[in-house]
Amino acid sequence: MSSSIPRRRSSLQRLAALLLPVICFSVSRAASFELPPLNAPPSTEHHVGKVVWADLVTPDLGAAERFYGGLFGWTFQSVHTGSSDYAVALANGRPVGGLFQKSIPAGEHRQSAWLTFIAVPDVDAAKRAALAHGAKAVTGIRNYPLRGRQTVLSDPEGAVFAILASSSGDAPDFLAAPGEWIWSSLLSRNAGAEAAFYQQVFSYDVFDLASDDGLEHVILSSDDFARASVNAMPGDPARRHAHWLNFIRVDNTVDMVAKAVASGGRVLVEPHVDRHGGQVAVVADPAGAPFGLMEWTSSDSKAEPK
């Protein structure tokens, strides 16, 4: 009997010795998922309120890569671990966004979409401020050491966006090159109330614009640059919901719309002249995710469009 205790202890120790490496290996394997930094080499700049990233959620990563790669010449860097299939999109070798494959449960309809990431210095503080002013948490806060700390929120009208404290700083304020994100717009029911919310969270300067459509349009600004617009939604509000819409710079909107349609996309808003004098349009990718196209050339007319 007295010799059975040491034997039992010894067998338990052996079992623990066997289990521990297995568990530790599983944990370390699970923790190895890593997203690349937004900026390489890192930037020393920080631009609160700047739209610094966008992630597409799609049920078919391969189809999305073919569509966006064919349209804008993006290349892709795969990040696959565990249950996540993710690809970083590169324009001219620079990361511009992510494509994330997520299945849609059978029998459910969901709208594929681009998620807009706004820069903050402190995700926890920004999340607290957002929740205090009517936002809701969509996900918890997550750390991706090379990318940064992020979380997803919905604003008081339900428009979903993310906040990100980038580990590699924020990119300097350059004019976007063709194939890169150039502009972001929020479409909402009450543009003034939404502008107030974003001003509370990101300390934006807010500029109200004259418009000839009878609807409210404002510009959100930080560092004396326009970062985004907030716009009262046109048409029947019952058929619309608040959402962010991001625009990619193109050389020729009409040509790119035709190319998008030929690649399986569809037109949501036909090309037309916008405030800056260049053409914009809104299209949907083959999975239905809406995004904008925007010309921006130095020769665009500064005259108000007719």
Partner 1 sequence: MSAVGGGWAPRGLAVLALILLNACVATGVGVDGAVGVDYDAGYYEPWGYDYGGWGHGYRVGPGRGDDHRRDGDHPHGDAGPRGDHPSRPYRPAPASRPTPSIPSRPRGH
Site for partner 1 in 91-150 (CB under 8 A): 100, 102, 104, 109-113, 115, 124, 138-145, 149-150
121 vs 19: CA distance, rounded Å:
41
Please enumerate in sequence order all residues whose Cβ is within 8 A of that of 254, keeping only pairs 6 or more positions apart, or say none: 271, 279, 281
C-alpha distances out from residue 169 to 11, 67, 71, 115, Å: 52, 30, 29, 20
Contacts of partner 1 in 270-299 (CB under 8 A): 272, 274-278, 280, 282, 284, 290, 294, 296
Judged by CB under 8 A, the number of residues near partner 1 is 107
The C-alpha R_g of the chain, in whole angstroms, comes to 23
Angle (CA) 146 73 163, round 5°: 35
Report yes or no: 214 and 227 within 8 Å, Cβ to Cβ.
Answer: no
**In 31-59, which residue ranges form alpha helices assigned H by DSSP?**
none
| 305 forms part of the interface with partner 1 (CB under 8 A) | yes
Nearer to partner 1 by Cβ, of 47 and 71: the residue is: 47
Run of H or E including 196: helix 191-202
Nearer to partner 1 by Cβ, of 75 and 275: the residue is: 275
Contacts of partner 1 in 216-235 (CB under 8 A): 217-219, 221, 224-226, 229, 231, 234-235
CB of 88 to partner 1, least distance (A): 12
Nearer to partner 1 by Cβ, of 76 and 217: the residue is: 217
Q: Which of 84, 121, 132, 261 binds partner 1 (CB under 8 A)?
A: 84
Please enumerate in sequence order all residues whose Cβ is within 8 A of that of 181, keeping only pairs 6 or more positions apart, or say none: 51, 54, 96, 97, 246, 247, 248, 249
Please enumerate in sequence order all residues whose Cβ is within 8 A of that of 133, keeping only pairs 6 or more positions apart, or say none: 156, 197, 200, 201
107 vs 230: CA distance, rounded Å:
34
192 vs 303: CA distance, rounded Å:
26
Binding part of the chain for partner 1, among 38-46, 64-72, 177-185, 254-262 by CB under 8 A, reads: 177-185
Local structure of residue 214 (DSSP, 8 states): S
| 185 forms part of the interface with partner 1 (CB under 8 A) | yes
CA within 13 Å, CB half, 161: 36
| 72 forms part of the interface with partner 1 (CB under 8 A) | no
CB of 30 to partner 1, least distance (A): 5
CB of 262 to partner 1, least distance (A): 19
What are the tokens at 35?
């997203």
CB of 84 to partner 1, least distance (A): 4
Nearer to partner 1 by Cβ, of 144 and 263: the residue is: 144
Contacts of partner 1 in 228-267 (CB under 8 A): 229, 231, 234-236, 239-241, 243, 245, 247, 267
Contacts of partner 1 in 32-71 (CB under 8 A): 32-33, 35, 55, 57
CB of 100 to partner 1, least distance (A): 4
Nearer to partner 1 by Cβ, of 240 and 255: the residue is: 240
289 vs 102: CA distance, rounded Å:
13
Contacts of partner 1 in 9-38 (CB under 8 A): 9, 12, 16, 20, 23, 26-28, 30-33, 35
Nearer to partner 1 by Cβ, of 192 and 286: the residue is: 192
